[in-house]
Amino acid sequence: MSKERLSFDQRCYSLLVKVPRGKVTTYKAIGKALGTKAYRAIGQAMKRNPHAPKVPCHRVIRSDGSLGGYAGGLTKKISLLQREGISTRRGMVENFKSKLFEF
DNA sequence: TATTTGACCAAGA
DNA sequence: ATCTTGGCCAAAT
């Protein structure tokens, strides 16, 4: 039977699906929830995200409120966020602290 | 096995 | 607010 442990990437994805629309999280927050400080590795996991729409990786931003990156292009990330009611300005999410999702 | 690669972070200037 | 520096860690090469 399968005794496979979830890979680091998979753990990131299963956590991320909990983030509801209209909310955002940060690479750091995911690391904290996973009990790791592999912030950069988390970014890599998002970049490789194989489950594009299923995992809302566009809701993951940097700890300082700036956007971070997006495999499909930052413009896409911005429109997806705005569609969910999250406004951005010059690469920063406005009032992002009030929009953070708590794991 | 060893090295390189980043969608990061915190602190300092 | 911006920019630089050193640190960090899993996955890919």
User: How confident is the model over A63-86, as pLDDT tens digits?
Assistant: 999 999 999 999 999 999 999 999
Tell me, in Å, how far CA of A88 is from C1' of B6?
A: 24
Nearest Cα residue to A62 out of A93, A19, A33:
A93
pTM score, two decimals? 0.93
CA–C1' nearest nucleotide, residue A7:
C10
The C-alpha angle with vertex A58 and arms to A66 and A90, in degrees rounded to 5, equals 30
Q: CA A98, A20, A65, A32 torsion: positive or negative? A: positive
Tell me, what DSSP letter sits at residue A58? Answer: G
Give catalytic status of residue A12 as yes or no.
no
Tell me the CA–C1' distance in angstroms for A75 and C2.
Answer: 22
- Catalytic residue, candidates A30, A45, A46, A57: A57
Q: Which nucleotides of B are covered by protein (CB under 7 A)?
A: 5-10
Residues A6-51 pLDDT 10s: 999 999 999 999 999 999 999 999 999 999 999 999 999 999 987 8
**Chain C bases near protein CB atoms (7 A cut-off):** 1-2, 7-12
b/e map A66-80, b = 16+ CB within 10 Å: ebbebeeeeeebbeb
